[in-house]
Amino acid sequence: MTHERKRIAPRPPTPSTRARDTGPPTGRLPDDLLAEQVRRFELFTGVGAGLWTLGLAMDGLILPAVAGRIVSGSVIAVEAGVVLISFGLFLYVRYAGGTPQSKTDFSLWYMLANAAAVALLNTVIRVPTTEHMGHLSWITIVILVSSMIMPSTPRKTLVASLAAASLDPLGIWIADLRGLPVPSVAGTLAFYMPNYACAIVATLPPLYLQRLTRRLREAEDLGSYRLMERLGQGGMGEVWRAHHRLLASDAAIKLVRPEVLGVGDSDDAKLLLRRFEREARATAALSSPHTIQIFDFGATDDGTFYYVMELLTGRDLESLVRDFGPLPANRVLYLLRQACHSLADAHARGLVHRDIKPANVYVCRMGLDYDFVKVLDFGLVKLQGPQTAGQSLLTMDHRASGTPAYMAPEIILGEADVDRRADVYALGCVAYYLLTGQLVFEAETPMKMLLQHVQARPVPPSQRTELPIPPELDDLVLSCLEKDPNKRPQNAEELLRFRWDCRTCERWTNELASAWWQAHMPDLTGPLTVAGVEEGGDADRRVVAFR
């Protein structure tokens, strides 16, 4: 009898959900786009400083020396002032510790400073005459370039651009008050009409960016979850840290987009999605506390399949051994018992994991418990039993699926009756790796490694490490690695019934595990916090999510 949890369909955000949304407000750019804005603003101020410095050098040094033309001191003063403003903003953007939002807000003021300098040169220092009527003001260039390189929100851009466009007419009015000959009002409006046209056009880049931002936020919404940070990417999909906007809690979301995995055609895409859905359903059917917990799963409109699961604090066994070396025998037994509990639950329900490996076994901190094991990624699961005909492993191009270093000989040989004893073999390989820090068989190519799994006898783990390994543990690991499935323990439940206690090693306890974590991973042993108890509240999260 198959047990399956109820599928929870993705839900659109409700008004109350939106009120608690932790994402950026509608009129504000996302943090990653703001960071890119800051980099562009820094470049723009640097280029602006260089161009105004070049103009200052031309008017103050080169023209007097080459053409004998003396430029007004007012022109030199204006150019020197903008050079100082440009360099000052460049240093502020590059080295100051302000927020990206506060820095990007200065971009509009910098546009106005450039426009004001141009207006001073155009109208106050050099009053335009009728012979200048056919030329565009440089303010139009300032407005358009600023909107393309440093777009803000459409409203802010429109207000700043209209203000910049009005500086030329303002200069004409000031010149008229000074009694200088200036064009008529109609002539002035006609002359500077391109300024206002460009101010309207300048709202298009930020308007497009705002729409793109909204679409990105909508694309990152999965039901009530908001994708926050990509934690890893593997052969079956991506893993993201996500935030539930209503409950104010974090979770891990695994998703697969066919284009990310380089799927060749629609048939392969459908196969991958079916395989991914099987992983979610198979995992959700399990109840062992040592199996990763599934909260929700579904598919988006663009064909992306996802499921939501608990966010784990800890490390996978592969990286744990890689960073800290082989584990003592008593700790290995402590971890393997828990992994067997998860697999025994799966085997009792007629499921075979088929991809047991250190990267799929996670050692966590769960409340006050340390070295708490979670088995992940039931993506290659196989359903057994007469009622599941036609539900064998979904693979692409009929290739053997799994990880070569942990594949049982019967999987490699393509035998039809692959069952839970393949998981027992893989668990023996995991135990071997934990005890020695080495694979059961080393080879130059995956094919040579597969051949050794089929033909070669493994060296006892006690002969490949300096750490003490009791003989009974040596024998247990080698029994799991028997080539003939009939000679192995027949399932994980049988392994659980074996006497796993080592007479010659100290029993591993939660106290020993806690001491090890405090010594080697102190950042994951801090005080426990509760996120989102108060509305809008944030909590310190020390999380290393699984990959």
Catalytic residue among 250, 296, 316, 355: 355
Secondary structure element (H or E) that encloses residue 277, with its range: helix 266-284
Cβ-contact 375, 410 below 8 angstroms: no
- Under 8 Å between Cβ of 51 and 102: no
Q: Which residue type sits at 77?
A: A
Interior CA angle at 49 toward 27 and 204, to 5°? Answer: 30
> Is 384 buried (19+), middle (13-18) or exposed (0-12) by CB count in 10 A?
middle
For residue 155, the surrounding DSSP H or E stretch is helix 154-165
Annotated catalytic residue 355: yes
How many CB atoms within 10 Å of residue 377? 25
Task: Return the biggest CA–CA distance within the chain.
Answer: 108
Calpha distance 477→282 (Å, rounded): 28
Residue written as tokens 């729409």? 211
Alpha carbons within 13 A on the beta-carbon side of 169: 18
Q: What is the rounded CA–CA span in Å between residue 472 and residue 104?
A: 66
Q: What are the C-alpha distances in Å from 367 to residues 94, 253, 381, 397, 524?
A: 42, 21, 29, 44, 11
Which tokens in the block code for residue 189?
Answer: 């409006």
Residues taking part in catalysis:
355
